[in-house]
A and B are shown apart, each in its own frame.
Chain A
């Protein structure tokens, strides 16, 4: 098994759009025969919650395609983030893009190893019971134990 390729990912983001890259790359790499580990740190830990409540916002993100031009101050109104999230999910569904939940399930099925940053859990007083089963907890040294032998290391 020592010739099996390895992919290590550090996932730091907790928005709906940025939840996709780690899950897409991890599930695909696993399908290609890679051994994969994702280290979830800071806001990335939102992707490991049993109940996902990932949102998307155009605030501070002028690159996000909008159905209509909208001044930044309007984008900040209450309810806008929820609306953008609903619209983004509808768009993804209509284009046959998998949900984050589905991709996460496929990763787990493919035995992608998920490691949570213990420091982040402590920092934000997160409850370990809120996370999915099988999640391991560790620190930077835990990441390097795997990443040191990895063929590809990505920071997302």
Chain B
């Protein structure tokens, strides 16, 4: 996986918390920085795609690691 500037552990959280926490964390970051998010909610896979599409932030990677879902989002 590529480098990242900040990490958010959203494990155990259910919809819509992973998205809300990610949005909040991105709010504290600079444009171009990358946020790594770890989640266990299976719905977050489609949700982070939709989140990126609608907010203009770039979903660089979306995958699974050790039974968890991992996302890399670059702030627009």
Give A contacts to B, CB under 8 Å: 24, 27-28, 31-33, 95-98, 106
Chain B interface residue count, CB cutoff 8 Å, equals 14
Smallest Cβ distance from A104 to chain B, in angstroms? 12
10 further interface pairs, Cβ-Cβ under 8 Å (given A24-B15, A31-B16, A98-B13) = A27-B20, A31-B19, A31-B20, A31-B23, A32-B54, A96-B17, A96-B41, A98-B16, A98-B17, A106-B20
Q: Which 6 A-B pairs have the closest CB atoms?
A: A31-B23, A96-B14, A28-B16, A96-B12, A32-B54, A96-B13
Chain A contact surface mostly: loop
Cβ contact within 8 Å between B14 and A33: no
Smallest Cβ distance from A155 to chain B, in angstroms? 20
Cβ contact within 8 Å between B54 and A33: yes
> Measured between alpha carbons, how far is A32 from B56 in the docked complex, in Å?
10
Cβ contact within 8 Å between A31 and B17: no
Cβ contact within 8 Å between B14 and A31: no
* CB closest chain-A residue, reference B53: A32
Smallest Cβ distance from B74 to chain A, in angstroms? 17
Cβ contact within 8 Å between A28 and B12: no
- Contact flags B32-71 to A (C-beta < 8 A → 1, else 0): 0000000011000000000100110000000000000000
Cβ contact within 8 Å between A97 and B54: no
